[in-house]
Structures are given as structure tokens and as C-alpha cells.
Amino acid sequence: MANSAFQEILSEITHFAATAKDFASLQEFSVSLIAERLPYYNWVGFYMLAPGDDNALLLGPFHGAPTEHLRIPVTEGICGAAVAQGETVIVEDVASDPRYLSCSIDTKSEIVVPIRAHGKIVGEIDIDSHDLSAFGPDDRSFLEESAAIFGQFLEKKDKEQNDKPTAQAALAK
């Protein structure tokens, strides 16, 4: 896959993130865009740490076949491994990885990239491919850059929330 496709997607996600009203809309936009532009990205989705519970990942917006894995403990799956290790995990052949939680019998390889905000993992982006060894260094860079955009977006929204005067403070003015 040409690097220009990755660059184009990153630029469109950055552009959308500049005015997205909330994280959910940025997630929806991104999973659709990525899946449409990269045909070997057969399932594209977010898993985010459960609010107040760093031990479980909850399925977020995704593009692809429905999955039964709506909640994944961080001790399980390739998804859990990426959080536990705090780094991108690439599996060339899911059939030979005992950690793998099956989502579709068509899936042959997978990449999971953590998303950090304020220096802490808050979730991840998960991609499955029907091709063996589908993901190389360029995919990793592309997805890690995407994850950085998502993390920065969350930090920006947190800051906006913290800067917002409370109703009481606004009334006192």
C-alpha cells in the first residue's frame, strides 16, 4: 500500500478532528474512512478502557462484521496484550497465537495499537485482515500516528471541559 494513501487518510482524520464535536463522531468517521480506503483492513474498530475500570476494554465504533467480543479483560486476547505490554502488537498469523480471541473465521492477521491521553493508555485501535502477515512497518507507523491524533483529541476535549466555567461560577460573574 502506497504511503500516500496513509498520508491522505491521516490528513483527513486530522482535518475532521479539528472540528469534531465529540470523540464518538471522530471514531465513526475514522473507522469508516480507514476501512474504505484500505481494502485489506477488513475489520477496523476501537476498544476503549471501561470508565473507572482499567481492567477491561469495551467495544467502541467499528467497521466490519459484528463481533461477540464486546468486553475484553486486559488479561485476554491480542487486544488485552497491547494494553498489558503498553505497545503495538502485530500478529502475522492469528491461528498460531494462543492469545488470539476469534472474531471471524476469515481473519488471518491482526494489529492492535494503544491510544494514550495524558501519558496513559485509554484504549486502542484494532485491525483484522483476511490476509496473512498483512501489517508491516508502514501500517504500524500509520496507525500509531492515527492513535496519536485520537489521544490529542481526547486531551483537547478534556482541556475544554476543565476550562469551561461551571454553571455556578458563570452565574457569579
Q: Give me the residues that bind ligand SME (CB under 6 A), please.
A: 43, 45, 67, 69, 72, 77-79, 100-101, 103, 110, 126, 128
Question: Which strand (E) or helix (H) includes residue 120?
Answer: strand 120-129
Q: Between 43 and 142, whose beta carbon lies closer to ligand SME?
A: 43
Least distance CB 88 / ligand SME (angstroms): 14
Least distance CB 164 / ligand SME (angstroms): 35
Least distance CB 78 / ligand SME (angstroms): 4
Q: Between 67 and 141, whose beta carbon lies closer to ligand SME?
A: 67
Q: Between 109 and 146, whose beta carbon lies closer to ligand SME?
A: 109
116 in Cβ contact with 122 (< 8 Å): yes
Least distance CB 4 / ligand SME (angstroms): 28
**Which residue's Cβ lies closest to ligand SME?**
77
Nearby residues of 124 by Cβ (< 8 Å), 6 or more positions away: 46, 47, 48, 57, 79, 82, 83, 112, 113, 114, 115, 147
Helix segments in 3-136, DSSP class H: 3-19, 23-37, 77-85
114 forms bridges with which residues in the sheet? 124
Q: Between 125 and 154, whose beta carbon lies closer to ligand SME?
A: 125
Least distance CB 69 / ligand SME (angstroms): 4
Give the Cα separation of 45 and 79 in Å (integer): 11
Count the residues in the chain.
Answer: 173
Q: Between 5 and 65, whose beta carbon lies closer to ligand SME?
A: 65
72 in Cβ contact with 79 (< 8 Å): yes
